[in-house]
Amino acid sequence: MVIVQLSGGLGNQMFEYALYLRLKAEGKTVKIDDTTCYGQEGNRPRQLGQVFGISYDRASEKEIIRMTDSSMKPLIRLRRKIFGRKSLAYREKDTNFDPKAVNSDPIFLEGCFQSEKYFAPVKEQVREAYRFQKDKLGLGEKTLKYLEEIESSASVSIHVRRGDYLDSGHGGIYTGICTLEYYQKAMEEIKKRVPDARFFVFTNDYPWAKEHFEQEDCCVVEGSSEDTGYQDMYLMSRCRHNIIANSSFSWWGAWLNDNPEKCVIAPKRWLNEQECRDIYTEDMIRL
């Protein structure tokens, strides 16, 4: 058996479920642990079912305990103390494709698995699973107006993630990557290719974006919250081109964009002090 642990926000959950689909397609018995990383104060919500109507085989508490050797029964705790833990848990080593994640069985997989390489063999199945159902997204009047503007123009999404990325608790891994200079360069690159581009800015820091994207060809999108952020991902996917942040959220917004002539611009560095070569798809322009 393989258990894939679900963790993080919607973008991370989508990568983890995509890996689950690949392993299932290979005939393995695969289940998802969607309890360990959720249910506590401060945890993000599980959203695969809410947003895409997705269901999956859930690992039971007993299966999770068995595979992670985490039983609190006295005799088992004593055995662990004497002989050590016999856990099948495996955390990905870094942000690049790890063959062990797709070749091992049994295994309990912990990580984000942020690369198309993890699900390339079932790419079309993943695309079908993540097909937004517009009538079930609860789009309000303002969001529908944004959608109309996006679909009737040479639209380009810009994702600006601040908020938690500015938290010093991250140890500076996001610092100095998606700067204002990065966005300005990306917009200039787009304009060379799409002279009539109209930019739609999606952000978790509306006041900052409103101050720094004041151009006539920019629209700073407002209205969504942490719980309804998937509406922003939907709108990003409907844009003709995308400028993404170093975020799995806008990665998926761009990946789900089905424009065959799309231009996707990504920051040349994804994380500080880490080589993240496999997060990039072949069609991405790195600036």
Once rounded to an integer, what is the mean pLDDT over residues 95-109?
A: 96
For 82, the domain range is 2-129
Which amino acid type is present at position 280? Y
Higher-pLDDT residue of 58, 81: 58
Give me the pLDDT at residue 79, please.
72
Average pLDDT, rounded, for the chain: 92
For the segment 57-75, what is each residue's pLDDT rounded down to a tens digit?
A: 999 999 999 999 887 877 7
pLDDT band, residue 86 (cuts 50/70/90): confident
Closest CA to 5 of 26, 29, 28, 35: 35
Whether residue 88 sits in one domain with residue 162 = no
Share of the chain above pLDDT 70, in %: 96
For the segment 129-166, what is each residue's pLDDT rounded down to a tens digit?
A: 999 998 889 999 999 999 999 999 999 999 998 866 76
Predicted TM-score of the model (pTM) = 0.94
Map residue 52 onto helix, strand or coil. helix
Whether residue 177 sits in one domain with residue 122 = no
| Tokens coding 53 | 């109507």
CATH of the domain at 252: 3.40.50.11350
Whether residue 145 sits in one domain with residue 73 = no
Give me the pLDDT at residue 283, please.
92
Once rounded to an integer, what is the mean pLDDT over residues 79-87?
A: 77
Most distant CA pair in the chain, distance: 70
Provide the 10 A C-beta neighbour count for residue 276: 16
Whether residue 256 sits in one domain with residue 184 = yes
For the segment 250-272, what is each residue's pLDDT rounded down to a tens digit?
A: 999 999 999 999 999 999 999 99
Among 129, 159, 181, where does a domain finish?
129
Whether residue 265 sits in one domain with residue 209 = yes
Among 105, 129, 153, where does a domain finish?
129
Burial of 269 (0-12, 13-18, 19+ CB in 10 A): middle
Domains held by the chain: number: 2
Whether residue 265 sits in one domain with residue 176 = yes
**Contact assessment for residue 12 and residue 20, using Cβ atoms and an 8 Å cutoff:** no
Closest CA to 6 of 71, 67, 56: 56
Whether residue 157 sits in one domain with residue 204 = yes
Whether residue 223 sits in one domain with residue 173 = yes
